[in-house]
Amino acid sequence: MWQTSAVAPACKFGREGIDVVIGYDYGGETQELRIPGVVWLGLAEAIAAGRLKDLDGGWLAWSLAGGRARVVDGYVHLAYGYLHRMEARLPASVWQQITAAVRAHAVDALPVIEADAECQARAAREARAKLGGSVPGVDGDEW
């Protein structure tokens, strides 16, 4: 189940595992942005405090732990993690909707979303590759 908001009509929000997932429609395609929950908390706090309202081509820090953001060619770039090795890129129009939803407190409590069959199958394949053989709870084996 996804959460939607009137202030962010192109976006849907949810949680899956430890990630915050933001689905959005852009250019006739559905995209997904996945951000670790702990990073989302810092990002949402910075948005609510107004620290990210003046983005331009230069990096603007939003977290003491290294989160930063900028706008380049109509896309918002979010960098985070150790040495900014993780980066997300999304259209500025989608970013504006996300920030509006945060400021309106429309995404304060995100629902858990159910992974679709493709995501579940990918997770099972990855688990099998790591563990070798069958995976308890996935391949019919008991935990």
Count of domains for the chain: 2
pTM for the predicted model, two decimal places? 0.76
Range of the domain at 81: 11-112
The pLDDT of residue 134 is: 58
Same domain, 75 and 15: yes
Same domain, 33 and 67: yes
Same domain, 66 and 108: yes
The pLDDT of residue 143 is: 41
The pLDDT of residue 117 is: 55
DSSP SS3 for 121: helix
**Pairwise CA distance, residues 109 & 22, whole Å:** 13
Residue 21 lies in a domain: yes
CA angle at residue 46 from 36 to 99, to 5 degrees?
Answer: 80
**Pairwise CA distance, residues 127 & 1, whole Å:** 24
Residue 17 lies in a domain: yes
Per-residue pLDDT of the chain (143 residues; tens, 9 = 90+): 899 999 999 999 999 988 999 999 998 889 999 998 988 999 999 999 999 988 998 999 988 777 899 999 999 999 987 766 788 999 999 999 999 999 999 999 888 887 555 565 666 676 666 666 655 555 554 44
The pLDDT of residue 83 is: 63
Same domain, 20 and 71: yes
Same domain, 73 and 35: yes
Same domain, 121 and 104: no
Using left for φ > 0, alpha for ψ between -120 and 50, and beta otherwise, residue 95 falls in alpha
At 120, which helix (H) or strand (E)? Answer: helix 117-131
Same domain, 70 and 34: yes
Q: Which residue reads 């620290």 in tokens? A: 51
Same domain, 95 and 26: yes
Residues 6+ apart with CB under 8 A from 126: none
Same domain, 28 and 88: yes
The pLDDT of residue 54 is: 87
Residue 3 lies in a domain: no
Q: Which residue reads 């732990």 in tokens? A: 65
DSSP SS3 for 14: strand
Same domain, 42 and 61: yes
